[in-house]
With several copies, the nearest count.
Chain A
Amino acid sequence: MAEVMKLDLPGSLSQVAHLREAVADTLRMLKGVEDAESICYNVQLAAQEIAVNIVEHAYKGGRDPERQRIRATLSVFQRPRRIEIELRDSGAPFNPAAMPDPALDDVHEGGYGVFLARTLLDELACERESSGNCWRLIKNIP
């Protein structure tokens, strides 16, 4: 049995904080999690980066704010214990697996978003659906 929370947000940077709140609220349903604070922070950051990319890249130059939405489904499962987040957009296809990691020998002004999400999660995928993309973020919780 999964506990599920849904959000339907305008694709705007000012709205992404609501997704972070929803992550925290969803994870709070799990009791007795070790280092729950850090797990929450990491999942929030991963979701933040993917959502910001939707706004800044998938919806870049878009003219129809009505269609530029982020539909989020957040679920916690008990066996195996995990949080799954689906983020649906109406943008063009994108394959995060094709993004190389940033060079870590110096610091850069960008290019960390996909890397952070990939590194902090156990699974990150973007599937094409009829009307857009469905990002799936999975974090196992020991």
Chain B
Amino acid sequence: MMDLTVDEHLIRAAVIAPKSAIDAFSAPALRERITNLLDSGVTNLVLDLSSTPFMDSAGMSVLVMALKRSRMAGGNVRMVAPKIEAANRILKLTRFDQVFEFSASAEEALAVWRKA
């Protein structure tokens, strides 16, 4: 009766919420975890730093890698800002807040993608 095609597509997103320090010692494990997600076909990442107590520049390097790779895969990274104000200020000082996109929560980050 009706000639139509219907194709389903999955947009795969992962919410990554570190609850302990992301520093030069722990960053490689986080990097590998994120790399595995992206390798497996996840394109969209929520980096939920709301419960992250500390992050050094090695941790920030992982954020940048995640952003680059997810954008290369056609996706994006949305960040949930650290609740710790000093950590938040480091993201401003380094202008990470100008390049990453922020959502108030992981749920809101996922909602942004659905609602676009």
Contact = CB atoms under 8 A, between A and B. Distances in A.
Q: Taking the complex as a whole, does A directly touch B, i.e. does some CB pair lie under 8 Å apart?
A: yes
A41 B84 contact: yes
Main secondary structure of the interface of A (DSSP, over half): helix
Contacts, number: 71
Interface stretch (A63-71, A88-96, A108-116, A122-130): A108-116
B30 to A, nearest CB: 14
Interface string A8-48: 00000110110010000000000000000110011011001
Contact of B57 (A42, A49, A55): A49
B24 interface: yes
A55 B61 CA distance: 17
A17 B61 CA distance: 18
A110 B85 contact: no
A56 B56 CA distance: 14
A108 B89 CA distance: 17
Interface of B: 21, 23-25, 54, 56-58, 60-61, 63-65, 67, 84-87, 89-90, 93-96, 99-100
Interface of A: 13-14, 16-17, 20, 37-38, 41-42, 44-45, 48-49, 52, 55-56, 102, 104-110, 112-113, 115-116, 119
